[in-house]
Amino acid sequence: MWISGARIGLVALLCAAPLAFGAVQVWAWSALAVVSVGLLFCWGIGCARQKTLTIRWSPLYVPALLFFLLCVIQFLVGLSLDKVGTREALIKLTTYLLLFFMGGQLFATASPRFWRGFGLIVTVYAFALSVFAIVQFFSGPDLLYWSIKPRWGGAVFGPYVNRSDYAGLMEMLLPIASAYLLGQTGRHPLRWLGVFAVLVAFASVELSGARGGVVSLLIEIGLFGILFGRSRLFGRRYTATAAAVAIVSVVAVLLWIAPPEILARYQTLVKSPDLTLGTRAQMAMGALRLFRDNPWIGTGIGSLETAYPRYQSVFPENVIEHAHNDFVELMAETGIVGLMLALVGLQIFFGTVFRKARLKFDDLAGWIGLGSAVGCCGVLVHSFTDFNLHIPANAAWFVACVAISQAHTRSKCKSLINDRTPLSRIPSDANSLSPAKV
């Protein structure tokens, strides 16, 4: 009961976080941290009541813990240029690590019924959020929840101050919902309602004017197509083709009815870059100069706002909180050491997740795991021009998607090891049971 409650609580937390303006305010990300610790306690109590503790091991735990250790050293030794910012970043990083760990443990032991419910919840949630965002866009485009005006301005869309952050969330929800629909066997009577929900959610991203979000979604569609071609899923290729035609039709209709300012933003994708894109490039170049002067361990995680003014070449009167490029910001704050750990983590992620893309999925968990992996790829692409991984709600969804994408493999090899063995570790590769990996 405790473990099931933790599993439901994790999904509820992920759905609630974006509604609190992306959990960017102190009270919101603090609540995210507190609830994450509570979920860990619930899982621990459940394991104690079952009188067993089985940890589903992921090779990503190693680079993640080493990166956390690097940030702790920056804080304790005084290597950070902004100790307060580093302390806040450490609290958030701890929260993400807890969510990543809990996602891996809870989803790996989930029943097929839970996987079906999770896919349905994500589909309904994406649809409801997109309808709310569209209605708010046409009725109160400058207000959050029709009543709150952002203090520093912004391009409001849905519950987010910035439309790009909304698009970043949808980049993870849409692939999961699409994979859930593709994984349905037989002629499900509600499938077409699900297809309609996905199309509305996709349309909301296009209507938001988030260029990076639209490009990332198109890349995700292309990635789905590549995986279809490699996995021998001939029976579902017709479904994929029909979905592609439907998406193109929705794009055409929305381009026809979209306001002129939205069309003007998309024209910059094929014409000379506008001021926003040029400014983002200059911000990233400033962060690269910061990395050049602090190459090995950076200026300290969460310290960019303090360390950046010396290198600021745009908007000198404004405070720059992020470099609008998560990778460059990572380099500036954690140096070569942090960059290498991140690259190792990405190599492990791509190597372990997409290895099973060659297989023919026979259950819904595999499909949802694939959708989660594709969603992570979309966010990583978008991170070259934005900072979605610094929005707590989006970062929480990202680490959860990484955990979900690997949970299916680990759950498959669960039966190979006695679950009643205390502290047993299950390898991430079901075909490898060498002592070094157990």
Burial 146-184, CB ≥16 within 10 A → b, else e? eeeeeeeeebbbbbbbbbbbbbbbbbbbbbbbbbbbbbb
Average pLDDT over residues 330-355: 92
Choose between 320 and 233: higher pLDDT. Answer: 320
Give every CB contact of residue 24 below 8 A, 6+ residues apart in sequence: 161, 391, 392, 393
Q: How much is the pLDDT for 422?
A: 41
Asked if residue 205 is part of any domain, the answer here is yes
User: 242 versus 25: which is more confidently predicted?
Assistant: 25
The tens digit of pLDDT for each residue in 318-331 reads: 777 888 899 999 99
pLDDT given at position 25: 93
Query: Per-residue pLDDT averaged across 198-207, rounded?
Result: 87
Look up the pTM and report it: 0.86
Q: For residue range 90-105, what is the model confidence (pLDDT) as tens digits?
A: 999 999 999 999 999 9
pLDDT at 248: 62
- Please give the Cα distance from 362 to 210 (Å, whole number): 36
Token look-up 């490898």 returns 432
The secondary element (H helix, E strand) that includes residue 152 is none
User: Residue 118 pLDDT > 60, yes or no?
Assistant: yes
Domain membership of residue 14 (yes or no) is: yes
**pLDDT computed for residue 278 by the predictor:** 66
pLDDT band at 247 (very low <50, low <70, confident <90, very high): low
Amino acid 312: pLDDT: 80
What is the pLDDT at residue 249?
63
**Mean pLDDT confidence for 265-289:** 65
- pLDDT score recorded for residue 363: 79
Is 232 inside any structural domain? yes
Q: Is the pLDDT score of 419 beyond 80?
A: no
- Domain residues for 371? 2-280+366-437
pLDDT on residue 418: 39
pLDDT the model gives residue 272: 38
Closest CA relative to residue 18, chosen from 158, 178, 152 = 158
pLDDT class of 317 with cuts at 50, 70, 90 = low
The arithmetic mean of pLDDT across residues 104-111, rounded, is 91
User: In terms of Cα–Cα distance, which of 225, 214, 270 is closest to 382?
Assistant: 214
pLDDT tens track for 13-31: 999 999 999 999 999 999 9
Q: Which helix (H) or strand (E) holds 426?
A: strand 424-426
Residue 396 has pLDDT above 90, yes or no: yes
Tell the burial category of 73 from Cβ atoms under 10 Å away from its Cβ (0-12, 13-18, 19+): middle
Tell me which residue of 215, 217, 214, 237 sits closest to 227, measured CA to CA. Answer: 237
Dist. CA 326–CA 124, nearest whole Å: 30
The alpha carbon of residue 398 and the mean position of all alpha carbons in its chain are separated, in whole angstroms, by 2
Residue 358 in any domain: the answer is no
- Which is higher by pLDDT, 406 or 269? 406
Position 253 scores a pLDDT of 59
What pLDDT, on the 0 to 100 scale, is given for residue 428?
37
Distance CA 351, CA 416 (A): 22
Distance of CA 179 to the CA centre of its chain: 16
% the chain with pLDDT above 90: 47
Contacts of 319 (CB under 8 A, 6+ apart): 305
Q: Is residue 334 part of a domain?
A: no
Model confidence at 436, in pLDDT bands (50, 70, 90)? very low
Greater confidence (193 vs 127) lies with 127
Overall domain count for the chain: 1
Confidence of residue 254 (pLDDT cuts 50, 70, 90): low
Judged against a pLDDT cut of 60, whether residue 410 lies above it is answered with: no
pLDDT at 53: 81
Measured between alpha carbons, how far is 377 from 354 in angstroms, rounded to an integer?
11
- pLDDT of 309 higher than 70: yes
Q: How confident is the model at residue 70 (pLDDT cuts 50, 70, 90)?
A: very high
Per-residue pLDDT for 233 more than 70? no
- Mean pLDDT, the chain, integer: 81
- Give the pLDDT confidence score for residue 218 in this predicted structure: 85
- What is the pairing mode between strands 424-426 and 54-56? parallel
Residue 381 lies in a domain: yes
- Residue 316 within a domain: no
Query: Of residues 139 and 153, which shows the higher confidence score?
Result: 139
Give the pLDDT score at 232: 46
Between residues 51 and 250, the one the model is more confident about: 51
Q: Give residue 361's pLDDT band: very low, low, confident or very high (50, 70, 90).
A: low
- Scan for tokens 């992306």, then name that residue: 22
Contact yes or no for 80/301 (Cβ under 8 A): yes
Indicate whether 52 belongs to any domain: yes
